[in-house]
Amino acid sequence: MGIETPGLRESKKRETRQLISDHATRLFIEQGFEQTTIAEIAAAARVAKKTVTNYFPRKEDLALDHHEQFTASLARAVAGRAEGESALAALRREFDAALEARDPVAGFAGPAFARMIAESPTLTARLRDLHDQREEALAGALAEAAPSPTIAPRAAAALLTAAERLLFERIQELTLAGRTNDEIAVEVAPEATHAFDLLEASLGDFAVAGAEAEA
């Protein structure tokens, strides 16, 4: 009898999780999020209902299965900023890269997916909650980078995530209008530049990596 290694077990778990997510997304798009049941998803994926809820405790997470990556994305960009780079510059650079890559985390999820979210009050509310969680995570990262005064990291996070949220919603809006990803990227690029430029005066030198060590 062969021994299943931890690596193989983890690989199987990832495959099962992806299988469930793929079937759930297909059913949500075909039938609507609110109308699709966990039992239908389990049957489509050929797993038990309990397996579905073990991997996805919330039904919304079956649709928004990149939620952990999404909520951590801004904080991770700030934590990984280069020496001498401000938080604003790091987020601007990361957004430009996401735009170039047509990254789903930035909003490039395709018309069917965007429509699924727009037509579901539950998913719309959950997405708002994820934006709020992303702001909280960013505020935590900024508090480590620039802890004083206490209100500053939260104020900076509110301003930065407002710009990021606006750009995400803009990409979704253009997607629903029938524009291609390439067309969206061309239109959003100068809009993103303008949005970040508006923050430059107030946050251009906020949370610069290495600044505290030099002080």
CATH architecture of the domain with residue range 6-58: Orthogonal Bundle (1.10)
Indicate the pTM of the whole model: 0.88
pLDDT at 215 over 60: no
- Domain-by-domain residue ranges, the chain? 6-58, 67-214
Taking residues 21-39, report their average pLDDT. 95
pLDDT at 4 over 80: no
pLDDT at 214 over 80: no
Calculate the CA 139 to chain-centre distance: 16
Q: Is the dihedral of CA 144, 150, 156, 162 positive or negative?
A: positive
DSSP run (H or E) holding 105: none
Calculate the CA 102 to chain-centre distance: 13
Band the pLDDT of 1: cuts 50, 70, 90. very low
Given the candidates 1.10.3470, 1.20.1050, 1.10.357, 2.40.30, the CATH classification of the domain at 67-214 is 1.10.357
Residues contacting 52, CB < 8 A, separation 6+: 20, 24, 38, 41, 42, 45, 62
pLDDT tens for residues 59-101? 999 999 888 999 999 999 999 999 999 999 999 999 999 999 9
Tell me, what DSSP letter sits at residue 110? -
Tell me, what DSSP letter sits at residue 82? P
Q: Which two tokens stand for residue 72?
A: 């951590």
